[in-house]
Amino acid sequence: MDFAVLSGGQLLSKVFGFIAFAYLARVLGPKDYGSVEYAIGLAVFFSMIVDLGLGPVGVRELATGEETVQSLAANIPLARLGIVLVAIPTMLVVAFVSKQSEAGLRLVELYALSLLAAPWTLEWLFQAKEMMTAAAAGSLLRMVLYTAGILLFVKHGTPVELVGWIEVLAAFITTLFYLGVQHVYITPLSFRSASFRSLRALVHQGLGVGGGQIVSAVNMYAPLLLVGTIAAGAETGWFGAAHRVVASLSTFSMLYHFNLYPVIARRASGPPEALDAVIRASLRIVAWVSIGGALLLTLLGTELMQLAFGGNFTEAGLSFKVLVWFLPATLLSGHARWFMIAAKRQKYVFYAQVAGVVASVAVGVPFVRYLPSLGAAVAMVAGAVAVWAYAHLSATHYVRKIPGVAVTLVPMALAAAALAVASQLHFTRWVVGPGLVLAFFGVAPLVDRALIADARTLASAKSDLGALAR
């Protein structure tokens, strides 16, 4: 039930967010919309730094009883506030050396101001107290306020800085909600329990957890920041539109592997063949579903970007067609990453994310310079592939060999063939795309004879786990 509440809140937040940004793209145009996406990308990245993994640490400390609610409710916001005071000027310096317009720089200043609300983002506290409705309500409230402000006040010709003021207002109203819930239902607002010793211990623990989160954020946002820094203007808007859709869809990877992880964790301590059967089955099913989905999005990429963001975003279609392949790469790499977590080799998951950043930046710097939005898309996919390769090789070397890329070759080859066929057809994409994808899934059981058996294996693995839990 708690998971359903959180997932439902996240889904509604994304729906409202999509409405807001699709509207912004239409009324601002690619150049100003690119400034918005760049400012948001910077703010999201620095908000991950501000969090520093302190949320999960707070939940753990309350669960083990090692810290009191009063102490954590004082120390975690203070620790985050100290980080914010460093993050804001750093964020402004990063924006200053970019190619953002004067209006774009003012927008970054406002999004930097909204970071002052970040220390009092209290989902961790609500989670620890099992107040999932309050946790979901906070994120949903902020996005509803933002969307309402955008739809009511942003029109054609509106200065882009107004978007930043709406973000600041939404952030601070949501903070009042968090603090009100804390004060009434959990513990009164007070800093009397704060101590430098506890602050230092929390930050030390948070670094271990937050390092991986920060690197993961770099993986997601480095291409956007690269194109905003090197090219800016309409190119950032085109890439930002494609990136926003793909980033939203990528949350499915986390939800899927979060759901599968108990099966992997339970079988990790048993016979290797039992775990391999589940990983192989999941890889095969995920490969067919994710590659088929990416195929459809590729075939309809330009049309979908025009439909969602307007005619000025036709150029975003090409970036989107490349960027959607980030999704299957991320979903597939999740098997090795979560397997290593189950095997207590999580440090190699961190190294895999670092490898992704290195690959993304190494590809992105030259590609973005000459093919701005398209180059950023190529860089992001390259980063995801690097994460997959490093994670799988690390799992094989440091734990043991597990099923890998072999089970994905057939759907990859079939998708490549479908794209080749599509390039020779001259019917409308709304006919060609769905038709080829239906054919892709229709022949799947014929060209991959293990598909149906593996679907049964995966379904029974979840059923077995449910029976054991009862």
User: Are 64 and 208 in the same domain?
Assistant: yes
| Confidence tier at 266 by pLDDT (50, 70, 90) | confident
How far is the C-alpha of 403 from the C-alpha of 400, rounded, in Å? 10
What six digits make up the tokens of 382?
């390259």
Average pLDDT, the chain: 86
User: Are 210 and 313 in the same domain?
Assistant: no
Contacts of 269 (CB under 8 A, 6+ apart): none
User: Are 146 and 239 in the same domain?
Assistant: no
Structure confidence at residue 254 (pLDDT): 79
Q: Regarding predicted confidence, which is higher, 384 or 230?
A: 384
How far is the C-alpha of 423 from the C-alpha of 416, rounded, in Å? 11
User: Mind listing the pLDDT tens digit for each residue in 398-412?
Assistant: 888 888 888 899 999
Is the CB of residue 371 less than 8 Å from the CB of residue 250? no
How far is the C-alpha of 211 from the C-alpha of 48, rounded, in Å? 10
Q: Regarding predicted confidence, which is higher, 234 or 5?
A: 234
Which stretch of 120-129, 167-176, 409-418 has the lowest confidence by average pLDDT?
120-129
Structure confidence at residue 12 (pLDDT): 83
Residue 470 predicted with pLDDT over 70: no
Total number of domains constituting the chain: 2
Structure confidence at residue 462 (pLDDT): 59
Q: Regarding predicted confidence, which is higher, 262 or 327?
A: 327
Residue 94 predicted with pLDDT over 80: yes
How far is the C-alpha of 342 from the C-alpha of 454, rounded, in Å? 22
User: Are 182 and 325 in the same domain?
Assistant: no
Structure confidence at residue 6 (pLDDT): 59
Residue 237, Cα to own-chain centre: how many angstroms? 19
| Confidence tier at 221 by pLDDT (50, 70, 90) | confident
What six digits make up the tokens of 184?
């009434």
Structure confidence at residue 248 (pLDDT): 85
- Of 383, 57, 463, 59, give the one whose Cα is nearest residue 215: 383
User: Are 108 and 238 in the same domain?
Assistant: no
| Confidence tier at 122 by pLDDT (50, 70, 90) | confident
Residue 85 predicted with pLDDT over 80: yes
Please state the rounded mean pLDDT for residues 16-36. 90
User: Are 207 and 298 in the same domain?
Assistant: no
Structure confidence at residue 442 (pLDDT): 94
Last residue of a domain, one of 176, 206, 230: 230
322 to 9, 145, 223, 242, 326: CA distances (angstroms): 30, 33, 13, 10, 8
Cβ atoms within 10 Å of 451's Cβ, excluding its own: 19
Is the CB of residue 422 less than 8 Å from the CB of residue 299? yes
User: Mind listing the pLDDT tens digit for each residue in 160-184?
Assistant: 999 999 999 999 999 999 999 988 8
Structure confidence at residue 469 (pLDDT): 40
Is the CB of residue 223 less than 8 Å from the CB of residue 247? no
Last residue of a domain, one of 174, 197, 230: 230
Q: Regarding predicted confidence, which is higher, 116 or 48?
A: 116
User: Are 141 and 239 in the same domain?
Assistant: no
How far is the C-alpha of 48 from the C-alpha of 353, rounded, in Å? 15
User: Are 50 and 144 in the same domain?
Assistant: yes
Burial environment of residue 172 by CB neighbours within 10 A (0 to 12, 13 to 18, 19 or more) = middle
What six digits make up the tokens of 192?
């009397």
Q: Which of 57-61, 170-174, 255-259 is predicted most confidently?
A: 170-174
Please state the rounded mean pLDDT for residues 34-55. 87
User: Are 118 and 89 in the same domain?
Assistant: yes
Q: Indicate the length of the chain as a whole number.
A: 470
389: left (phi over 0), alpha (psi -120 to 50) or beta: alpha
User: Are 307 and 385 in the same domain?
Assistant: yes
Structure confidence at residue 64 (pLDDT): 65
How far is the C-alpha of 47 from the C-alpha of 87, rounded, in Å? 8
Is the CB of residue 82 less than 8 Å from the CB of residue 196? no
Structure confidence at residue 467 (pLDDT): 42
Structure confidence at residue 466 (pLDDT): 46
Structure confidence at residue 293 (pLDDT): 95
User: Are 218 and 275 in the same domain?
Assistant: no
Residue 264 predicted with pLDDT over 60: yes
Last residue of a domain, one of 196, 230, 264: 230
How far is the C-alpha of 222 from the C-alpha of 199, rounded, in Å? 30
Which stretch of 16-20, 62-66, 71-75, 370-374 has the lowest confidence by average pLDDT?
62-66
User: Are 84 and 211 in the same domain?
Assistant: yes
What six digits make up the tokens of 75?
């120390």
Residue 383 predicted with pLDDT over 70: yes
| Confidence tier at 218 by pLDDT (50, 70, 90) | confident
User: Mind listing the pLDDT tens digit for each residue in 325-349?
Assistant: 999 999 999 999 888 888 888 788 8
Please state the rounded mean pLDDT for residues 207-227. 79
Structure confidence at residue 67 (pLDDT): 64
Domain membership of residue 44 as a residue range:
1-230
Q: Regarding predicted confidence, which is higher, 191 or 382?
A: 382
Q: Regarding predicted confidence, which is higher, 165 or 157?
A: 165
Please state the rounded mean pLDDT for residues 97-112. 89
Contacts of 270 (CB under 8 A, 6+ apart): none
